[in-house]
Amino acid sequence: MTYELEQQESFQNHPSKKSKFPLFFLFFVTNLAIIVVFASNEEAIALSKWKASLQNSQPLLASWTDLPNGTFNSSTELGATTTPCNWFGIYCDLAGKVIMINLTSSGLQGTLNEFMFSHFPNLLYLDLSMNFIFGAIPPEISYLSKLVYLDLSNNKLSGYIPEEVGLLSGLEGLMLFDNKLNGSFPKEIGSLRSLRELSLHNNSLSGLIPTSLGI
């Protein structure tokens, strides 16, 4: 016991030993910060590319090019530490990751083809309702694996509802009404056990809604 105590005291008092923990901790925190900033920057780039694909300049999206230090760049010249957390309609968690996009009634005109869904693995809430978004709903929407609420209502979306929507296992609300969607109702949506709210009216959909939905 005496030997162990002496060994412990020797370890604590040895300068080279004492310095290792703080250095390791600093290394860990620094690298964690780099990872968070990198992820946030990737989301900023993805949002800026989608904005660039829209047909008209959006006054409400002017903040989507601001850098943290107050400088300004074009959407193709975002800084390495750009974060979208202070951008209009964008909400982040404490780690700086985008968890909510709310752009309802923002006058958006364009498609979702350039929306990089895979860059938002932590997104919980996506509301693009009451805009002028047209074209199809990309099957890549299934990359939003943590999504809880999806509202694309009151747009000009056309084509089928992709069966990949059925992969959004945590989805509780799906709003697609007032569009130009057609085709049959995808049976895969019947596997969404968490779904509590579904609105598809004012489309040209056919087929039956699975009775297993939400059970």
CATH topology of domain 2-206: 3.80.10
Beta bridge partners of 197: 173
Domain ranges (residues) in the chain: 2-206
Q: Report residue 207 as tokens.
A: 């087929």
Closest by Cα among 153, 154, 174, 177 to 164: 174
Q: Return per-residue pLDDT of the chain as tens, 215 residues.
A: 433 433 344 434 544 444 444 544 434 333 333 344 445 689 999 999 999 999 876 688 988 985 444 344 444 455 445 789 999 999 999 999 999 999 999 999 999 999 999 999 999 999 999 999 999 999 999 999 999 999 999 999 999 999 999 999 999 999 999 999 999 988 888 889 999 999 999 999 988 877 766 55
What pLDDT, on a 0 to 100 scale, did the predictor assign at position 215? 53
Closest by Cα among 95, 106, 130, 135 to 47: 106
What pLDDT, on a 0 to 100 scale, did the predictor assign at position 60? 81
Rounded distance, CA 100 to CA 120, Å? 10
Stated pTM of the model: 0.77
What pLDDT, on a 0 to 100 scale, did the predictor assign at position 149? 99
Residue 153: CB atoms within 10 A of its CB come to 23
